[in-house]
Amino acid sequence: MNTQATSSPQFYLTAPAACPYLPQEMERKVFTHLVGERAPELNDLLTQGGFRRSQNIAYRPACETCRACISVRILVNEFTPRRSMRRVLAANADLVSHEYLAEPSSEQYSLFRHYLDARHQKGGMSDMSVLDYAMMVEDTHVHTKVIEYRLREEGSGLKERPQGELLAVALTDRMGDGLSMVYSFYNPEVADRSLGTFMILDHIRRAKALGLPHVYLGYWVKGSRKMDYKTKFLPQEHLMPRGWERYNDETNTT
């Protein structure tokens, strides 16, 4: 397959496969390569159009009979954390976060492996090796960062890379209009910290500090319980057939 950058991106369609979110459905994806000098610009345009990035591929669902996957982005400037989210922030006040270039480490992979083994034993990523993880992080032609979240350790702030216990990691793209959370993982043994929620709240904070209006969360799949958390960060917009539309779920009030 030709992966060289051209003046116009070339799009491809995958064969049908079992849907990982809705067992009764089959999924197909349309995808293109994000390579060359125009990759950041193309990634911006495609993300705004409902695509997601995985390594140097941008993809979006192209299922024949199902439209359950809906792109979600948080409206950063209007966001106010709810009471339950403020509790999460307080529970993680002893964490410090640091942003690095998209470079993997053995410590990250150890945490990644622990997370997969505990939470996603049957998922599509369950057999990823250390080399697969390195590719997931490094194989990017866009503006990608790794954000590490560690327990605060006395004196560690003076070091180039703090040494407190690593509890969570986020792989994040910076775009012209926001931050896109490509993938995140955390220590599953500290569930009371709600680290998944905490990382999203931290990205909202980061986006606001950078003057960026959106945090992109990927796809919300109505009917998939594992995706319900994404609709708790209000207000947000969903990409519908007519474009981005404001979404408000009045059931999320705590």
| Contact residues for 14 (Cβ-Cβ < 8 A; gap 6+) | 28, 29, 30, 31
The mean pLDDT of the chain is 90
For residues 135-157, give the mean pLDDT: 89
| Residue 195 pLDDT | 97
> Within 13 Å of residue 239, how many CA atoms lie on the same side as its CB?
21
Is there a contact between 232 and 62 (Cβ–Cβ < 8 Å)? no
Q: Taking the domains of the chain in order of start, what are their residue ranges?
A: 12-68
Q: What digits encode the pLDDT tens for the residues 180-221?
A: 999 999 999 999 999 999 999 999 999 999 999 999 999 999
The distance of Cα 228 from the centroid of its chain, to the nearest Å, equals 15
Average pLDDT over residues 30-36: 95
- Per-residue confidence at 123, pLDDT binned at 50, 70, 90? low
At residue 226, the pLDDT reads: 82
pLDDT in tens, 101-120: 999 999 999 999 999 998 76
Q: Is the pLDDT of residue 122 over 90?
A: no
* Confidence (pLDDT) at 7: 64
| pLDDT value of position 119 | 77
Q: What is the mean pLDDT of residues 118-131?
A: 76
27 pLDDT band, cuts 50/70/90, is very high
Q: Quick one: pLDDT band at residue 65, thresholds 50, 70, 90?
A: confident
Say what the pLDDT of residue 1 is: 46
Asked if 21 and 224 touch (Cβ cutoff 8 Å), the reply is: yes
Of residues 34 and 251, which shows the higher confidence score?
A: 34
Measured distance CA(75)–CA(78) in Å, rounded? 6
Q: Which of 107, 113, 104 is nearest to 136 (CA)?
A: 104
Q: What is the DSSP code string of the chain? A: ------SS---EEPPPEE-SS-TT-EE-EEEEE--STTHHHHHHHHHHTT-EEETTEEEEE--SS---EEEEEEEGGG----HHHHHHHHHTTTEEEEEEES---HHHHHHHHHHHHHH-TTSTTTT--HHHHHHHHH--SS-EEEEEEEE--TTGGGSSS--SPEEEEEEEEE-SSEEEEEEEEE-GGGGGG-HHHHHHHHHHHHHHHHT--EEEEEEEETT-GGGGGGGGS-SEEEEETTEEEEE--TT---
What percent of the chain shows pLDDT beyond 70?
Answer: 89
Q: Is the pLDDT of residue 161 over 80?
A: no
The per-residue pLDDT for 236 is 97
207, 214 in Cβ contact below 8 A?
A: yes
pTM: 0.90
Rg over CA atoms, the chain: 18
